[in-house]
Chains A and B, each alone.
Chain A
Amino acid sequence: MTGESGRDPLPPGRLVLGGILILLGAGWLLGTLGYRLRWQVILAAVLMAVGAGLLVGARQPPDRGLVALGIVLTVLLALGITFRPLVALPTPGASMGERTEQPASVSGLAPGFELGVGSLRVDLRELELPAGTTEMAASVGIGELAVRVPEGVTVLVDARVGIGEAVVAARRRGGIGVTVTEEIPGDDRVLALLLEVGIGRTEVRR
């Protein structure tokens, strides 16, 4: 049976919908098999599929459903990045209150420090740091995160606050989606801090 010279174009909306279902199902399956795939990665892949679908169907008027889906996904992903520390909030069962951590050795820095709601102080002034880079991560869902660092060491700060303020070496930055990357100069011992606060304040000083 010979076909006609023209054939009906495949509706891009259906193509993309099928692709989206496959992506979501694959992500879910990987999750159940123990592979941790962040939702941001899955949704970004879906957004790329939407873009590809619009390009494939660019000889037809754009599918409004696809465009709407693309806009919603873009806004959701952008909000997720803006409020990344909020999205990464500790679980509802996380601890609350005031807490001070004073690790005695570098091994005490892993896997990091976390507080749900309240005030977390991490005092590293007495810590003996080796040459090279030592990393520490700390997060507070809602409240304050204060870190005291040892004298003389180089400190690399990567601080993110969803809503609030970050103060690093007396330099203050506040607002929504605050991201601060600062270096406090020192010797060849490097302390790299990854700090996240959902709502509140973080401060780093010697």
Chain B
Amino acid sequence: MSRWHPQGLVGGVFFLLVGTLFLLDGLGTLRLRPAHLWPLLLIGAGAAILAGAGRSER
């Protein structure tokens, strides 16, 4: 029986989203500000840690 690993899901979504933001910034479409960026990264790291802690053993 396969199951989803929350850390993989959360990490994948996080890196995909953050990578998109960086890409748009690099293309000049967005202008990311450090004051917004670092809190977002902390939120993402926290979510990934919670996802790992919430994984249930079967």
Contact = CB atoms under 8 A, between A and B. Distances in A.
Contacts of A57: 8
Nearest to A52: B16
Contact of A51 (B2, B13, B27, B35): B13
A54 B8 contact: yes
A176 B34 CA distance: 9
A49 B17 CA distance: 11
B11 A62 contact: yes
A52 B12 contact: yes
A40 B21 CA distance: 11
Nearest to B18: A74
B42 to A, nearest CB: 11
A28 B35 CA distance: 32
Contact of A70 (B3, B15, B35): B15
Main secondary structure of the interface of A (DSSP, over half): helix
Given A55-B9, A179-B33, A74 B38 contact: no
Interface in B11-38: 11-20, 22-23, 25-27, 32-35, 37-38
Interface of B: 2-5, 7-9, 11-20, 22-23, 25-27, 32-35, 37-38, 41
Contacts of A52: 12, 16
A44 B5 contact: no
Main secondary structure of the interface of B (DSSP, over half): helix
28 contacts: A38-B26, A43-B22, A44-B20, A44-B23, A45-B23, A48-B15, A51-B14, A51-B15, A52-B12, A53-B12, A54-B11, A55-B8, A55-B13, A58-B4, A58-B8, A58-B12, A59-B3, A61-B5, A62-B5, A62-B8, A67-B11, A70-B15, A74-B15, A78-B34, A78-B38, A81-B22, A81-B25, A179-B34
B17 to A, nearest CB: 7
A70 B8 CA distance: 12
Contacts of A77: 18, 22
B9 to A, nearest CB: 5
Contacts of A40: 22, 25-26
Contacts of A38: 26
A43 B35 CA distance: 21
A47 interface: yes
A50 B27 contact: no
A94 interface: no
A41 B11 contact: no
